[in-house]
Amino acid sequence: MALTGLALLWCAPASAGGYERVRIPVEEGQLDGVLYRPNGPGPFPAVVALHGCGGLWRDNGKLSARHSDWGERLAAAGFVVLMPDSYGSRKLGSQCGVKELTVRASRERVADATASRQWLQARDDVRNKEIALLGWSGGGSTVLTAIRKDRRPADGQPDFARAVAFYPGCRFQSESASFSARLPTLILMGDADDWTPPAPCDHLARAARARGEAIELVLYPGALHDFDHPRLEVKERSDVAYSATGTGKVTVGTHPEARDDAIKRVKSFLMGR
């Protein structure tokens, strides 16, 4: 889906979480999203934040706790935060158990990230050269595709400034002889992750650094997938399409120490410190 015309803003009343619902005009329909904004006129740096396979919303129609937590934190730190809804915009629910995806991390979701960047760059309250890309799990996998040198944008607008990927699937990229990162990138994972195992990401980061690319991998001892969630009890899931064990079963849950460190690291990294 390619962006057409001028970016337009549609705002619903702000929720208790302080976000606005927005619409990003695209060639085939629209891309819905959620926008968090700091107080004041700006201009501000910005973040495009990509959800994982579960989507943005909970079953009760509320924004998921992880997304609202990060949106509020980053807005309080001075960032405009745009979270495009890649699944809901296409009338899709959770894709965690789907093997044959129609909205792929390497294609449609990269296009969504590009459209989101362009939409932000048309706003007067955003610094168009200071837009970062962030993603969780499947959204993190999209980040790794979007930062490749052979996927450099050709729209004439400033590129993303830097990128953050929480527990992405790295296997495809680490096995690709053509992978090369063009942006400073921070990857955050738990070393006990059995959904998107860390070994391929470790290989990818080591190879990238050997080429002089600015990719940092942080592995948190004992942390699982979803370690940064504000309040997710450790539990087993058996509804996923792929897992490190091949059983479709994974363990997820909050890791308080890893979460606290990640919050500090992400803010510092996005600020270029």
For residue 21, how far is the Cα from the chain centroid?
Answer: 18
β-pair type (126-136, 163-166)? parallel
Pull the structure tokens for residue 173: 């990229």
| Burial of 38 (C-beta count, 10 Å sphere; 0-12/13-18/19+) | middle
pLDDT in tens, the chain (273 residues): 433 333 333 333 343 358 999 999 887 778 999 999 999 998 999 999 999 999 999 888 899 999 999 999 999 999 999 999 999 999 999 999 998 999 999 999 999 999 999 999 999 999 999 999 999 999 999 999 999 999 999 899 999 999 999 999 998 887 777 899 999 999 999 999 999 999 999 999 999 999 999 999 999 999 999 999 999 999 999 989 888 888 889 999 999 999 999 999 999 999 987
List, in order of start, the domains of the chain with CATH numbers.
19-270 (3.40.50.1820)
